[in-house]
Amino acid sequence: MNKPSLVKNALGRLVPVMINDVPVEPYLGIGKYKPRGRTHGRPIVSCADYPSDGNKLIPTLKEALVKSGLADGMTISTHHHFRDGDLIANQIFDIAAELGVKNLVWAPSASFPCHKPIIKYLENGVVHHIEGSMNGALGRYCSQGKMRGLGVLRSHGGRYQAIQDGELEIDIAVIAAPSADAFGNANGLYGETACGSLGFALADSEYAEKVIVITDNLVPFPCVPWQIQGNHVDYTVVVEKVGIPEKIVSGTTQITRSPDRLYLAEMAARFCQQAGLVREGFSFQAGAGGTSLSIGIYFAEMLEKGGVTSRFARGGSNKYLVEMLEQGLTDHILDGQTFDLEGIRSLNDNSNHVTTSPFTSYNYHGKGNFASMVDVAILGATEIDLNFNGNVVTHSDGYLLHGIGGWQNCLFAKCVILPLPLFRGRIPVVRESVTTLCAPGELIDVIVTERGIAINPLRQDLIDAVKGSNLPLKSLEELKAEAERICGKPELPQLGDDIVAAVKWVDGTVIDSIRQVGI
Amino acid sequence: MNKPSLVKNALGRLVPVMINDVPVEPYLGIGKYKPRGRTHGRPIVSCADYPSDGNKLIPTLKEALVKSGLADGMTISTHHHFRDGDLIANQIFDIAAELGVKNLVWAPSASFPCHKPIIKYLENGVVHHIEGSMNGALGRYCSQGKMRGLGVLRSHGGRYQAIQDGELEIDIAVIAAPSADAFGNANGLYGETACGSLGFALADSEYAEKVIVITDNLVPFPCVPWQIQGNHVDYTVVVEKVGIPEKIVSGTTQITRSPDRLYLAEMAARFCQQAGLVREGFSFQAGAGGTSLSIGIYFAEMLEKGGVTSRFARGGSNKYLVEMLEQGLTDHILDGQTFDLEGIRSLNDNSNHVTTSPFTSYNYHGKGNFASMVDVAILGATEIDLNFNGNVVTHSDGYLLHGIGGWQNCLFAKCVILPLPLFRGRIPVVRESVTTLCAPGELIDVIVTERGIAINPLRQDLIDAVKGSNLPLKSLEELKAEAERICGKPELPQLGDDIVAAVKWVDGTVIDSIRQVGI
């Protein structure tokens, strides 16, 4: 196991000074870290070394990986637009195992339960460690201290930043595409495995040493639009199927039926209305998942009743956002990740439904990004502490079970609201201190629970805005006490001293570390 | 004047080993130069240093230039999508003069007669030299040896390559945009000065140290589509007018009425048909200008009669290409530069009319580009020599009067046809040796003149394909002799020893130099 030296960062969290043998900076505060240097350069290549007819087809993924120079210690990346329906990542490591390659780093934009087979490659040395979200079994494996390298968790924007800045160097990017031409132009808009945007693979295409596009729907040149540009692509491979469509569109698009969650959603929406946030030209991002989604629907109702129009809605798009677009309740959808078939249809049909990327929306090392222009972001969390610090990656038992997604990035919205149940399975959500600190409380403005709404004392403007309303305002301390009256004081997780993963902030600094569980 | 050491390149042309104090490589042959190193990195910046509400508006261009750190010796770039109707470039240097800044390098994607006022800044030291096409008066000024630095001529693709590779480092890019939001997202698709694609400014936006977007049509965020991404933009400026619409759409969209030129066009089109090039799925690029344009129309007729469809048409788009797209004669227009209002309308309306950029279409230091996938390219030239070498920048009197445009890049098409009058104003076009060698003859396949068609002996396949046809096939020697019988043997230009400009090949090597005229 890794035992790097630790240092206390600006939030008082002990973080490693080296991650997988590379020095890192501790978190310094919001906007405090000033990056130096220049963005990572691609190797300068020549058209003379690529087929002049644009035909980069290679018969198999194995041959493409061999031609790309697959070798021990390389970093291989994949994207997660197919979510739990991805069929490609496991194949890459099956091939690597077959070729006897060792110590690879897998840098997915996120991993899902379907990637559980990769545990055997972590066991036998084909894969050294994972840099990227680890949902489910892989996260549990990492938590148990079984991965040789440190896991590195980044937000979607942080992943773009790390690749752009040369902090995460990708040797081979394998980009699964629902449609592509032989030149490598690709998109996710049509084909049997259409998944909408391919934005999570953008940085990989732009900065990796070698880029392989793998598709199950080869179209004649030009494949338009080319969200992935063939000019970045080395090899194109055609396979029978790159993803399982039914699993691409997962449970994220279901409105919650739980009366408790619907109550949370309604309260959050009411808060926004009372605080004057739902007004002409307003913008919002409602994350996927039952509660957030329901809030989107409340917003739609409010807009319709108020006769006002939202300028844009950000987010994973779904049928509810598409309805708002088509009813004129929002002028635009800025879509980073497409969650259902209606979203895909709309992306194809409506020029105001626009694909975004982690570069445009989230990259903190850019000249601004879209996230900070959003008026209201509705997000989730596993825990929140009395300073409004939030956790989204570990459960209160210390297990790493979720990725950060765009969560850290979305916190830069003008008003961040977290509708949270006061407890989950008798485990209180409001803690003395979060198990893992994924974001500083100064960015989290409002906690909406079924037993009251807490406004961050830093946001006097919001406190003033809802003064005199009938909203059940409470302090986080009161909410915590209430939860503990019902559930009892929560036990602290049993954590070892060893660090198994590090959590990066949006600027590449280390905001917290995750300790081994159950030793 | 500059007197750098000269060296003979692979085509036997004497070229400088240094350009403006930077070492350069002589042309080595097609695909022979192997680039090294990595692409140029942008400075890594932080969102903390940009307004979180996305509002980057600065009241005046002057203030934006000052904030961008405008200083002596900097390189300032502009694009030429407004062609002779540009209203911005001159203003930049007016401001620089007012601020007392000296020795700037102007790196336009092309300059036009409207930029003649910049001669006074070349005279008084505000501008040191121009790196970019010099059409008209500026070219004449350069030819006369009056510019202090060497002019550097690059193709559209070569300009992207040079910027990407860090060979041409831009300090401040000023991007005039028909539509933009305060964040700097911009496009040329709507607004009173709509000009279609803004692709020529892409490299500038991606690689310049500072980027200013200047617009006369500020729209609320988000300005979609964002061909220029606000995430690259430092400052946004609103002015009354960025271009003169009537001049954006210039004479390039007129079909020639000259019977001689129409005859050339018809011959070129007949050649393509007889050689079997006009077939299902074929692709073509017909440059702007009377003769080329007329060929596009002949192609349309052939496709319609033959019941076949072109897969894509590349190029400056205009109403004739749009008609073909709308009649189903071509599946796609891949549009680098939009020449008329019908082109702009179609770009807005038709998802198969797609904006391209010098990166996708022309960059030779990419993993392939679109140009080499084109079946037939119809281009012009000022001169051609007996080895099929071509000149597009100087006249036979030695004066530098034209830019390269996409010409060098388009030569990578599978069949390159130059319809040329045998002589212009009694000056023969076929020469013993071209005044300036802009491209090696091995890339030029067919010369079509009013007195016969010459096929490059290297293209035995084309010679075989038209064997037995009634096309008037001749050798270039025969065509030259015929011209000289009529016009007399041409005089050689009176050139001095001093070099005034260098012509770069698509890979950044120096293919020829341009000498001072009339000394």
What is the number of other CB atoms lying within 10 angstroms of the CB of residue B476?
A: 22
Q: Which residue of B31, B370, B412 is in closest CB contact with A46?
A: B31
**CA nearest to A211 within chain B:** B367
Write the pLDDT tens digit of every residue in B126-138: 999 999 999 889 9
Rounded to whole angstroms, the Cα distance separating A493 from A401 reads 14
The set of residues, in sequence order, having a beta carbon less than 8 Å from that of B262 and lying 6+ positions away, is B256, B294
At A320, which helix (H) or strand (E)?
helix A319-326
Q: Which residue of B56, B332, B365 is in closest CB contact with A46?
A: B365
Q: What's the confidence (pLDDT) of residue A2?
A: 47
Q: For A403, list phi and psi in degrees, rounded to 5.
A: -90, 170
The band of B1, judged by pLDDT with boundaries at 50, 70 and 90, is very low
The answer to whether B182 touches B55, Cβ cutoff 8 Å, is: yes
In the DSSP assignment, the letter for residue A68 is T
Write the pLDDT tens digit of every residue in A118-162: 999 999 999 999 999 998 899 999 999 999 999 999 999 999 999
Q: Which residues of A touch B412 (CB under 8 A)?
A: 47, 52
Q: Which residues of A touch B41 (CB under 8 A)?
A: 37-41
- Map out the domains of chain A with their CATH numbers: 42-248 (3.40.1080.10), 251-495 (3.40.1080.10)
Name the A residues in 383-422 with CB < 8 Å from any B CB.
412, 414
Mean pLDDT of B306-327: 92
The answer to whether A401 touches A394, Cβ cutoff 8 Å, is: yes
Rounded to whole angstroms, the Cα distance separating B11 from B442 reads 11
Q: What's the confidence (pLDDT) of residue B395?
A: 95
- Helix A319-326 crosses helix A290-306 at what angle (to 10 degrees)? 10
Looking at the complex, does the CB of residue A507 fall below 8 Å from at least one CB of chain B? Answer: yes
| pLDDT means over runs of 10, chain A (519 residues) | 81 97 97 97 98 98 98 98 95 98 98 96 97 92 96 98 98 98 97 94 98 98 97 98 82 70 92 96 83 84 94 89 95 91 91 95 98 96 97 96 94 97 94 97 98 98 96 97 95 92 98 90
Mean pLDDT of B424-443: 96
Mean pLDDT of B24-33: 98
Mean pLDDT of B27-43: 97
B238 pLDDT higher than 50: yes
Two tokens at A422? 């006061």
Residue to substitute from A161, A359, A367, A442, interface B, most B β-carbons within 10 A: A367
At A176, which helix (H) or strand (E)?
strand A172-177
Two tokens at B384? 């051609």
Q: What share of chain B is helix, strand, coil (3-state, %, to 5)?
A: 30, 25, 45
The set of residues, in sequence order, having a beta carbon less than 8 Å from that of B251 and lying 6+ positions away, is none
Q: Which residues of A touch B443 (CB under 8 A)?
A: none
- Quote the minimal CA–CA distance from A435 to chain B in Å: 28
Q: CB distance A230–B367 less than 8 Å? A: yes
The band of B2, judged by pLDDT with boundaries at 50, 70 and 90, is very low
Q: What's the confidence (pLDDT) of residue B253?
A: 57
Looking at the complex, does the CB of residue A327 fall below 8 Å from at least one CB of chain B? Answer: no
ipTM higher than threshold 0.90:
yes
Rounded to a whole number of angstroms, the distance between the first and last alpha carbons of chain A is: 13
Q: What's the confidence (pLDDT) of residue A249?
A: 64
Looking at the complex, does the CB of residue A67 fall below 8 Å from at least one CB of chain B? Answer: no
Q: Is A304 exposed, middle or buried (0-12, 13-18, 19+ CB in 10 A)?
A: middle
Rounded to whole angstroms, the Cα distance separating A116 from A123 reads 12
Q: Which residues of A touch B225 (CB under 8 A)?
A: 351, 354
Residue type, B124: N
Strand ranges (DSSP E) for B178-268? Answer: 179-180, 186-187, 210-215, 235-238
Residue to substitute from A47, A169, A232, A364, interface B, most B β-carbons within 10 A: A47
Rounded to whole angstroms, the Cα distance separating B251 from B84 reads 11
Q: Which residue of B38, B44, B312 is in closest CB contact with A35?
A: B44
Strand ranges (DSSP E) for A369-445? Answer: 376-378, 383-385, 390-391, 415-419, 423-424, 427-428, 430-431
Task: List, in sequence order, every residue forming a beta bridge with A335; answer none if it has no partner.
Answer: A315, A355
Write the pLDDT tens digit of every residue in B143-164: 999 999 999 999 999 999 999 9
CA dihedral in degrees (A115, A116, A122, A127; nearest 10)?
-10
For residue B225, whether the previous peptide bond is cis, meaning omega lies within 30 degrees of 0, is yes
The band of B319, judged by pLDDT with boundaries at 50, 70 and 90, is confident
The answer to whether B35 touches B165, Cβ cutoff 8 Å, is: yes
Identify the weakest region by mean pLDDT among A284-298, B164-178, B374-388, B424-438: A284-298
Q: Which candidate, B246, B247, B248, B164, places its Cα nearest to that of B198?
A: B248
Name the B residues in 264-323 with CB < 8 Å from any A CB.
281, 311-312
In the DSSP assignment, the letter for residue A295 is H
Q: What is the mean pLDDT of chain B?
A: 94
Rounded to whole angstroms, the Cα distance separating A219 from A212 reads 16
In the DSSP assignment, the letter for residue B492 is P
Q: What's the confidence (pLDDT) of residue B361?
A: 97
B172 pLDDT higher than 90: yes
From residue A76, alpha-carbon distances to A79, A83, A142, A358, B19 in Å are: 11, 17, 19, 19, 41
Looking at the complex, does the CB of residue A181 fall below 8 Å from at least one CB of chain B? Answer: no
